[in-house]
Structure formats: structure tokens, C-alpha cells
Amino acid sequence: MAIKNILESVRQTLFEAMSRDERVMILGEDVGRHGGVFNATQGLYEAFGEDRVVDTPLAESSIVGIAIGAAVGGMLPIAEIQFADFIHPAVDQIINEAAKIRYRSNNDFGCPIVIRAPYGGGVHGGLYHSQCVEALFFGTPGLKIVAPATPADVKGLLTAAIEDPDPVIFLEHKASYRAIKGEYPEGDYYVPIGPADVKRVGGDVTVVSYGMTMHYALQASEELSKEEGIEVEVIDLRTLLPLDRRTIVESVKKTGKLLIVHEDNLTGGIGAEVAATVANEAFMYLDAPIRRLAALDVPSTPYHPVLEQAMLPNKAQVKEAILDLARY
Amino acid sequence: MYRTMLVARAFDERTSILFTQGKIPFTVTGHGHEGAQVAAAKCLVSGRDWVLPYYRDVGVVLTLGMTVRELMLAEFGKAADPNSGGRQMPKHWGARRLKIMTQSSPVATQLPHACGLAWAMRARKEPGVVWVSFGDGVASKGDFHEALNFAGIHKLPVVFFCENNYYAISVPFAKQSPVERVADRAAAYGMPGVSVDGNDVFEVYEATRRAVDRALAGEGPTLVEARTYRFGPHTSNDDDRRYRSREEVARWKEKDPIPRFAAYLKDVGLLDDQEDERLRAEIEREVREAAAWAESQPDPDPASVARYVYAEGGVGRGH
């Protein structure tokens, strides 16, 4: 099995999907001749032509709006938002249009689009090239939100997103693009949207996370296993909406302790819903208060590395929080 | 055409009465726009062209094949409403069988959809055009600019049809636009902009016909502006006396497209007073009957409220 990083996995998955199905098209800023500012679409313009890899004007609302129209017209469009931070002009199209098309038409219409958006900090991107936007869309039934953390999950879930009959926001953590490498499954590989994945089995503490912080949790868990004999169960949500409540609850029933880690702000983040779910469905199994670790509630990620590090959660904090819970 | 205009007018008048009677909680009307709507829609081929009408376009959807009974189901929000099964406010159109794309309430969002549909038609080598309509208020929105810009760049087969009634709810056109005509804006998007008297069915038909032919010939999009007026308030919740004089409304009513077209038809011998009266009486009966029928139809099932948030069954592979 080939080893690829996240970015290579995105690119290869797009290539395979476009080769397989001529309805698949990509549109966005710089996705064509340039190959994307992160090179995620490199080579696709040459392989599939300008009618299937469409360089659009710098106008996010219409990137998504055109994708919606093309989807209704029979295509399977993948809209790229260059940075998740720039998705806001398209929010009307995403929340009022894409998410509601099936519901408002009583199932007469569907909206099979994918919106790819690189997100997350740790890349010196400052306030406007670092944002997490998942919480913004999390309260919008009709949308699906996917945030895979490994090259294999990227392939499986991006394939599933493209084939899904409903709109999917596909979040790719920028810091993981080159840093995270792993096996890239050859051939037809599919991971259903919805189920979380237990990335590490353990009986002492449950950690629920996704994206880059999921890797911090895995690293911290390995260290704690060796150093302290603490066995952590790490749940990678992978799909944020709809949320796989069952896998979370089952794990907490086993461990009795829950830490939620994400890079989005603490308040109103995905973790709040996870905590509420566990409080409702596994309260009697809890041996310690539910703990959340997230980015500070400041408007976005500041530029200077010192400030950036002070704002984002890191592996040491994850490790410490797990240890606290284990000893509770 | 004349009959459809009369049906659209009678329909709007009936729904206003139903609102006053407290039988429906809301309605929005388009009377005054019927000439523009029916003449433009006459240039389209139902089932071939994708159509994105907006919430005043009774005349458009009637021309494309939606029935008065179906329209009434939507007014009452009944389960069998083909547009949304009672989920949307009335006149938020959508019917795949007629290639009428489902619409929302925020204005202008449908214009980029028109571009996407046109892109898909071209990619899939399907014949036809995309026709999208909107009010003058839309010309202020970003999606208007983004869509016309994209359609112009790629010479997409789209007809942008503005029903300019000179008011975005209460804000007069002079406070929405620094240029006199919406059509003037077309120059910035590399497409022809045509402004016509929207109450003259011949002018509207000719301009739309030319725009459709141009699109079919692969020559790209056109912006057509039909200058018209809405005789009623913005919606049943609006009181237009707060922002426009009765004299102004009366002046526009003198240009009412229906008597104007009737006068022409009588002039050329295609219609006489007797036939006109018979037609109007017949339509009035049809609309009343449809209202009574729709009112008696089943309401949506409350148990269905959570359905179709996502596709049901077979989610994922091979939809």
C-alpha cells in the first residue's frame, strides 16, 4: 500500500473520482492552471480540461451557487473555497440554499455538492488563513460536515462525499496537509459518512476529537501508555454532522471519563454537543466531570507564533488533561 | 396568452380575498406583472428549458404548465402542493417535472443557480436555455453581479429577466440604482441589455424571443428588463400607502397590461366584449372552484416534519 500525505491523498482521490465519473467537476479560485494554492488540484486541469476544472472569478457566493445549479442540472460539482476563512460570502448559498433544497422541495430536488475548504491554524496564517468554521455550519440540518484526519479517511470520505446525494462540507486541516502521512488504500475505497472511528482502543479515558488535535490525542495516548500505563480510547469523529452519538456514548460507558479536544473555539463548538449528549445519555456512567479542551475564545488565530501557540490547544495540554482525568 | 394573463390576475385577486377572509395566513401577489410574465414565458419550452421564476411569477408558472389547482394547494400549504408539500410560503415555486427549480425567499440567490444549470446543460449537451427572473431589488445584490459576470465570461445560455416594478418593498428605484435602467448594467458584463415596456406583451415577447434565440445559438446571455408596476402591496403583510401615493398607483393602472392587450385583440377581431366577459366568468369560476377544492384537501402530516432533511435510503453510493 502506498504512503501518501493528506494533500496527496486529496489530489489522488479527486483524480480517481474524475476519471471514474464524467459528471464530477471542480470549480474555484486558482484550481485550474495553477493547480490550487496548496496544489490540491495539480494536474487535474491538464488531465480533464477547463470545462471540468473551472477557474472562477474571485467570488465565493457564486462558486457555491453555480455548483448548486450544476448539481441540480445533473453534475457532481466540487466547489473549492481557497481558505475556510473566505467561506463567509457563500454562507447564504450554503445555509439558505444547499442545505434546504431537499427539505423545501419535499424531496423533489437534491443538492449533491461537495464544498472543500482548507481550515485550521498552526501555519502562521493569522486571523484570516487559520479559521475553523465547523461550528458555524454545525447547527444546519441538511448539511453534512466531514473532517478527516488520515490519508485513508480522506480518500474514503471524499469519495463518499462526492457520491453523496446531499451537500457535504469537506474540511481539510492545512497543518496536516504535509505533516500527516499514512497508508493510501488503492482502488475503490469508501468510508461512509456518519460513523466515527475508534483510532485507539483503551479502557481508562475516552478522548473525542477530529482533525489535527486528534493526532495530538493519539500521540499523547501513546506516551501515557508507556509512561503511566494509562490506556486511552481515542475516537476520531471524522464526520461532525451528523454526529455519531452512539460510538461516543458506548465508549464513555466503558471508560467513565471523557475529554473532548478541538481546535475550534470552546464556546458553541462541536464539543458542547458531545458533552450534552454524554450528560444526557451516559450520566450515570461518568466517574469525572466532562472536560473540554479547545482554542481560546478569541475572534481568530493571531499571527505571531507566540500568540498563535498561546491561542491553540497543543499536545502537552491534551496529555495533561488526560492525566488529570485518569487520576480523578 | 390573454387567457393566462386573466387567470393570473384572477388567481392573485382570489388569494387576496382568501387572506382577507382569514383562510390563508399570507400571500404575495404579482398583479400588474402579468403581461411581462406571460409574454416572456411564451418564449420558453416547458420541459426543455430550466426556469427559475420568483415569487410574483404566477403568469410564468401557469404558462409552463402548473395548474390553478396546484397553485391553490400551495396557497393553503396542503400536503399535495407540488412545490413543497406545504413547507414553503406560497409562490415559492419548484417542480422538477416542469424544470422549475426550487426557490427560496432570499432574493438573488437563484441567479448563480441559473449559471450552474446552464453550465450543466452545455456540459451534458442538452438543448435549451435557462431563464431566471427577479425584481429590481435584486440588481443591488452581490449574487446579481457575480452571476451576470460569470455568465458573460463563459457566454452561458441564460436569459436574465428583470421585472422592474420600481420598488424593493418600499425603497424606490432611485434609491436602489444610480443608473436609470437595470439593463444599463449589462454593459459591464459583456452582454446585451434590453429595456422594454413590461406592460406591452409584444415588446416583452420580442425582446425575450431574441434573447432566447441568442442563447440557443451559443451567443451567450442577455439581460432583459421589463418595466412594470405591482398594483398591490409587496405582500399581504405590507401597506403600500406608507410609501407611494394613490395617484401614482392610479397612473400605472392606466397602463394595465390586461386591458391594453384586450384592446389590441378586439381591434384585430380576435376578441369581442361578449367573449371577453364569458372568458372572465369562466376563469372566475375556475379559480373559485380551485380554492374551494384546495381548501378541502388534506393538510400535511405532522409526522412528516422530519422527513427529507437528507435523502432517504440508499444514501451514498450510486444515487
Give the three cell numbers for residue B99.
424544470
Q: Residue A63 to residues A27, A69, A93, A154: CA-CA distances in angstroms?
A: 7, 10, 9, 23
In 3D space, the residue among A231, A236, A213 whose CA is nearest the CA of residue A221 turns out to be A231
Predicted TM-score of the model (pTM): 0.97
H-run or E-run covering A172: strand A168-173
A242 to chain B: nearest residue by CA?
B310
Could you tell me what percent of chain B has a pLDDT over 70? 98
- Three-class secondary structure assignment of B199-239: CCHHHHHHHHHHHHHHHHCCCCCEEEEEECCCCCCCCCCCC
Domain-located, residue B313: no
pLDDT (0 to 100) of residue B319: 41
Domain-located, residue B142: yes
DSSP string, A224-255: HHHHH---EEEEE--EEETT-HHHHHHHHHHH
Could you tell me what percent of chain B has a pLDDT over 90? 95
Distance from the Cα of residue A48 to its chain's centroid: 27
* Residue of A88, A129, A173, A304 with catalytic role: A129
Give the three cell numbers for residue B82.
407540488
pLDDT (0 to 100) of residue B153: 98
User: At B196, is the secondary structure helix, strand, or coil?
Assistant: strand
Nearest CB among A59, A69, A163 relative to B113 is that of: A69
| Euclidean distance between CA atoms A243 and A141, whole angstroms | 11
Q: Residue A46 to residues A8, A35, A80, B45, B251: CA-CA distances in angstroms?
A: 17, 9, 18, 37, 60
pLDDT (0 to 100) of residue B314: 57
Per-residue pLDDT of B75-95, as tens digits, reads: 999 999 999 999 999 999 999
**Is the ipTM, as predicted for this complex, more than 0.85?**
yes
Could you tell me what percent of chain A has a pLDDT over 90? 100
DSSP string, A76-112: EEEEEPSSGGG-GGGHIIIIIIGGGHHHHTTTS----
Give the three cell numbers for residue A33.
492552471
In 3D space, the residue among B107, B34, B27 whose CA is nearest the CA of residue B74 turns out to be B27
Per-residue pLDDT of A128-158, as tens digits, reads: 999 999 999 999 999 999 999 999 999 999 9
Q: Tell if the CB–CB gap between B117 and A96 is shorter than 8 Å.
A: no
Domain-located, residue B297: no
Q: What is the mean pLDDT of residues A68-79?
A: 98
Q: Which 8-state DSSP code applies to residue A37? A: T
User: At B167, is the secondary structure helix, strand, or coil?
Assistant: strand
| Structural domain boundaries, residue B166 | 2-291
Residues 171-230 of B with CB under 8 A from A: none
Domain-located, residue B67: yes
Q: How many CB atoms lie within 10 A of CB A91?
A: 16
| Euclidean distance between CA atoms A272 and B40, whole angstroms | 52
pLDDT (0 to 100) of residue A62: 98
Which residues have C-beta within 8 Å of that of residue B272, sequence separation ≥ 6?
B266
Instruction: Report residue A235: phi and psi, to 5°.
Output: -105, 120
| Euclidean distance between CA atoms B216 and B158, whole angstroms | 9
Q: Is B288 within 8 Å of B28 (Cβ atoms)?
A: no
pLDDT (0 to 100) of residue B315: 54
pLDDT (0 to 100) of residue A1: 77
| Euclidean distance between CA atoms A41 and A8, whole angstroms | 10
pLDDT (0 to 100) of residue A3: 97
Amino acid letter, A34: H
Q: Is the pLDDT of residue A203 over 60?
A: yes
Count CB pairs under 8 A between chains A and B: 163
Average pLDDT value over all residues in chain B: 95
A260 CB within 8 Å of a chain B CB: no
Domain-located, residue B309: no
Nearest CB among A73, A192, A193 relative to B116 is that of: A73
Tally of structural domains, chain B? 1
Q: Is A188 within 8 Å of A162 (Cβ atoms)?
A: no
Q: Is the pLDDT of residue B317 over 50?
A: no
Could you report how far apart the first and last alpha carbons of chain A are, in Å? 42
Average pLDDT value over all residues in chain A: 97
Q: Are strands A232-236 and A205-209 parallel, antiparallel or unpaired?
A: parallel
Could you tell me what percent of chain A has a pLDDT over 70? 100
Domain-located, residue B7: yes
Is residue B53 reached through a cis peptide bond, with omega within 30 degrees of 0 on the bond before it? no
| Euclidean distance between CA atoms A117 and A99, whole angstroms | 17
Q: What is the mean pLDDT of residues A68-72?
A: 98
Nearest CB among A92, A104, A105 relative to B109 is that of: A92
Distance from the Cα of residue A131 to its chain's centroid: 12
Per-residue pLDDT of B141-171, as tens digits, reads: 999 999 999 999 999 999 999 999 999 999 9
Which residues have C-beta within 8 Å of that of residue A159, sequence separation ≥ 6?
A13, A16, A17, A189, A190, A191
Q: Are strands B50-52 and B130-135 parallel, antiparallel or unpaired?
A: parallel
Domain-located, residue B310: no
What is the set of domains in chain A, with CATH numbers? 2-184 (3.40.50.970), 197-327 (3.40.50.920)
| Euclidean distance between CA atoms A179 and A49, whole angstroms | 30
Per-residue pLDDT of B197-253, as tens digits, reads: 999 999 999 999 999 999 999 999 999 999 999 999 999 889 999 999 999 999 999
Domain-located, residue B312: no
Q: Tell if the CB–CB gap between A105 and B119 is shorter than 8 Å.
A: no
CATH classification of the domain holding B155: 3.40.50.970
A129 is catalytic: yes
Q: Is A217 within 8 Å of A268 (Cβ atoms)?
A: no
Q: Is the pLDDT of residue A58 over 60?
A: yes
Disruptive mutation site among A51, A72, A159, A191 for chain B (greatest number of B CBs within 10 Å): A72
Q: Tell if the CB–CB gap between B308 and A164 is shorter than 8 Å.
A: no
